[in-house]
Amino acid sequence: MPEEQKQELKYFVRIANTDLDGNKLVHNSLTKIKGINFMFSNAICSVAGIEKTKKTGYLTEDEAAKIDDIIKEPSKFRIPEWLFNRKRDPEDGTNKHLNGTNLTFTQENDIKMMKKIKSYKGVRHILGLPVRGQRTRSNFRRNKGKVMGVKRKEGSRAGRV
């Protein structure tokens, strides 16, 4: 702890092209990077040998660089593949972990491919309906920003008094 007192707190630390808050704990601030959840953040801290309770602002340049390297290529540092967010990539069949703009770009391309081949999920995306099996009777009544509400049948008088 005395080392941290001497070292000056950096209010912003840049890791993986993302500015992280220096006042938060390393474990929590790593989850602000798109594509990193709390389990992957925990694995990064364990592999890098950094205490999870250390504030991000007190990380040295070497520790920040080590975290950056782990995020770029987690398979080199023996992080288990079940933590990766892209298993068996359709293009090359490898297990990858994407983050930041690469993750966004890949997700958009996957949705475009599903729409192009007209898979069930692709058709649901095209129609703006829920993709993962949710019910649509009471939810998902918005259609491009406008609320539809409940539509009554023409001959029905049950709701009128």
pLDDT at 47 over 90: yes
Output the pLDDT for position 58.
92
Q: What percent of the chain has pLDDT over 90?
A: 51
- Identify which of 98, 77, 101, 80 has the alpha carbon closest to the alpha carbon of residue 89: 98
In CATH, the architecture of 2-83 is Orthogonal Bundle (1.10)
How far is 121 from 88, CA to CA, in rounded Å? 19
pLDDT at 4 over 50: no
pLDDT at 2 over 60: no
Query: Any alpha helices (H) in the chain, and if so which ranges?
Result: 2-6, 26-30, 38-48, 61-72, 101-117, 120-127
Query: Over the stretch 69-101, which tens digit does the pLDDT of each residue have?
Result: 999 999 899 899 999 989 998 888 899 999 989
Q: What percent of the chain has pLDDT over 70?
A: 91
Q: What is the CA radius of gyration of the chain?
A: 23
pTM: 0.74
pLDDT at 158 over 70: no
Query: Over the stretch 95-126, which tens digit does the pLDDT of each residue have?
Result: 999 998 999 999 999 999 999 999 999 999 99
> What average pLDDT does this structure show over 33-55?
92
Domain residue ranges of the chain, discontinuous segments joined by +: 2-83, 101-137
pLDDT at 161 over 70: no
